[in-house]
Amino acid sequence: MPQLTFLGAARTVTGSKYLVEAGDERVLVDCGLFQGLKELRLRNWDPLPVDPAGIRAVVLTHAHLDHVGYLPRLVSGGFRGRIFCTPGTADLCHIVLPDAGRLQEEDARQANKHGYTRHAPALPLFTEADAFRALSQLQPVGFERPVPVASGIEAEFVNAGHLLGSAMVRMRFVANGGRRVLFGGDLGRYARPVLPDPEPPPEADLLLVESTYGDRVHEEDDDATRLAQLITETAKRGGKVIVPAFALGRVEEVLYWVKRLEDESRIPVLPVYVDSPMAVEALRFYSARYSELDPDIRPARRDLSAFATRRFEEVHSPKQSKDLMRSNRPSIVISSSGMATGGRVLHHLKETLPDARHTVLFVGYQAEGTRGRQLVDGAREVKIHGMQVPVHAQIEKIDSMSAHADRNEILRWLSGAPRVPKTAYLVHGEPEPMETLKAAIEERFGWTVKTPEYLEAVEI
Ligand SMILES: [Zn+2]
């Protein structure tokens, strides 16, 4: 019987990696980095329980780092197979993987320079060169076209509506009575701008379902009323609105709403800076693949018009970023990383957090152990670049812009399943949301639901 082993995203939200073994073939679905708590991040350094050289292929659901960020390490460890993904995912991987490699190298340099390492010398988890090598192994495949990924194993991508190119992966085991496993990836949301709704789950024997927000219902879409209010009030105080945002996905939605509020004259027209070279590149891919976006914004031409606010500015050089950081003019600054764990947004936060005029607005999930989580949990000070920074700025969170389905949306999506799966496995969630969602699925559908542990193996 084919086997499935949970090598990540098991009772946690990062490190997505699922090993499929059938006969002599091994395929990895997703190849993500562990992020957040230190004990999790350290797992990135553990040897994989399987030799990378013995893996035939990798199949990716989407280009967020917790789903693709381990690829360069897999490649440096000897993986030489093909990496199947949608064309949109391939585009975005070209942005995120080399950047992740550069960051790893930079971290190692810093650790060596300041001596805060027990390892001498500190080494990067992988390098930019490893990332480029991984990119050369990408094999883009369109949606809903089953392709053989290994002997006797086919995979097919189905739109998940979570990020440009995001997909669920349905795997079919030709030699084993055509059994099917659906890897749900991260599930997008219904009736949101920018991306289309997720497709209903295709028929499968086993189902892997994310549970990030398994115990939550996102606040209802208020037509951006609160966003308008926050921007207007902050501008009146003469402050800036700092939006830590994941470079991929959230930036587009924030820009969409700000542009709409401007068009409807519901906010003052402020300079809007996207201070993230990655986010700027991602915007171009979104615009170029406009046919994959939500039908409502599709007529937007092949340019940035769907996202270009009136005083839209891309920030490229570190110098521009520093000037912007020191400027006290009211403006909206969108910068990554989304959980304030690194990136240029840290400089903006260092500057704005101590000042009550400013607002810091979180629009995405804040994982345990991150600075973003500390701030939304009400920390009075946070440590940035070794300094204690007092928090006087207004800290806000708008959940309705989340890219992840909430409990009701997950249930709505599951209700579209053409038949009862043998087992539904909950993944990609912290234990509490997972247990709540498990109970909800059992009660509503009467399915067998399991919450596998790290390194647990099950029969397919
Ligand atoms: Zn994701």
Q: Which residue reads 């950047």 in tokens?
A: 99
3-state secondary structure of 121: coil
At 402, is the pLDDT very low, low, confident or very high (cuts 50, 70, 90)? confident
Ligand 1 centroid from CA 2, angstroms: 27
346 has a pLDDT exceeding 80:
yes
Peptide bond into 337 cis (omega under 30): yes
pLDDT at 21: 97
Of 176-180, 187-191, 290-294, the range with the highest mean pLDDT is: 187-191
pLDDT at 342: 85
Question: What's the mean pLDDT in 163-182?
Answer: 95
The whole-chain average pLDDT of the chain stands at 93
How many CB atoms within 10 Å of residue 217? 11
Ligand 1 centroid from CA 426, angstroms: 15
Ligand 1 centroid from CA 115, angstroms: 34
The token duo for 415 is 């209700």
The lowest-confidence range among 295-304, 321-330, 384-393 is 295-304
Write the DSSP string, 60-101. Answer: -S--SHHHHTTHHHHHHTT--SEEEE-HHHHHHHHHHHHHHH
Return the bridge partners of 275, or none: 335
At 176, is the pLDDT very low, low, confident or very high (cuts 50, 70, 90)? confident
3-class secondary structure per residue, 133-183: HHHCCEEECCCCCCEEEECCEEEEEEECCCCCCCEEEEEEECCCCCEEEEE
Ligand 1 centroid from CA 62, angstroms: 7
pLDDT at 119: 67
Non-local CB neighbours of 404 within 8 Å, separated by 6+ positions: 162, 186, 187, 188, 189, 210, 212, 213, 365
Question: What's the mean pLDDT in 255-276?
Answer: 95
pLDDT at 303: 56
Each as own residue / partner, the long-range contacts of residues 121-129 (CB below 8 Å, 24 or more positions apart, any chain) are 125/44, 125/45, 125/73, 126/72, 126/73, 126/75, 126/76, 126/100, 126/101, 127/72, 127/76, 127/101, 128/98, 128/101, 128/102, 129/101
Ligand 1 centroid from CA 353, angstroms: 28
Q: How far apart are CA 218 and CA 398, in angstroms?
A: 9
At 364, is the pLDDT very low, low, confident or very high (cuts 50, 70, 90)? confident
Each as own residue / partner, the long-range contacts of residues 43-48 (CB below 8 Å, 24 or more positions apart, any chain) are 43/8, 43/15, 44/15, 44/70, 44/73, 44/125, 45/125, 48/7, 48/74, 48/77
Ligand 1 centroid from CA 219, angstroms: 20
Ligand 1 centroid from CA 162, angstroms: 7
At 249, is the pLDDT very low, low, confident or very high (cuts 50, 70, 90)? confident
Ligand 1 centroid from CA 375, angstroms: 22
**CB-based contact 241:233 (threshold 8 Å):** no
pTM: 0.90
88 has a pLDDT exceeding 60:
yes
pLDDT at 304: 60
Q: In terms of DSSP bridges, do strands 18-22 and 25-29 run parallel, antiparallel, or are they unpaired?
A: antiparallel
At 308, is the pLDDT very low, low, confident or very high (cuts 50, 70, 90)? confident
Ligand 1 centroid from CA 247, angstroms: 12
Ligand 1 centroid from CA 403, angstroms: 8
Q: How far apart are CA 62 and CA 160, in angstroms?
A: 9
Ligand 1 centroid from CA 364, angstroms: 11
Ligand 1 centroid from CA 428, angstroms: 10
Ligand 1 centroid from CA 18, angstroms: 15
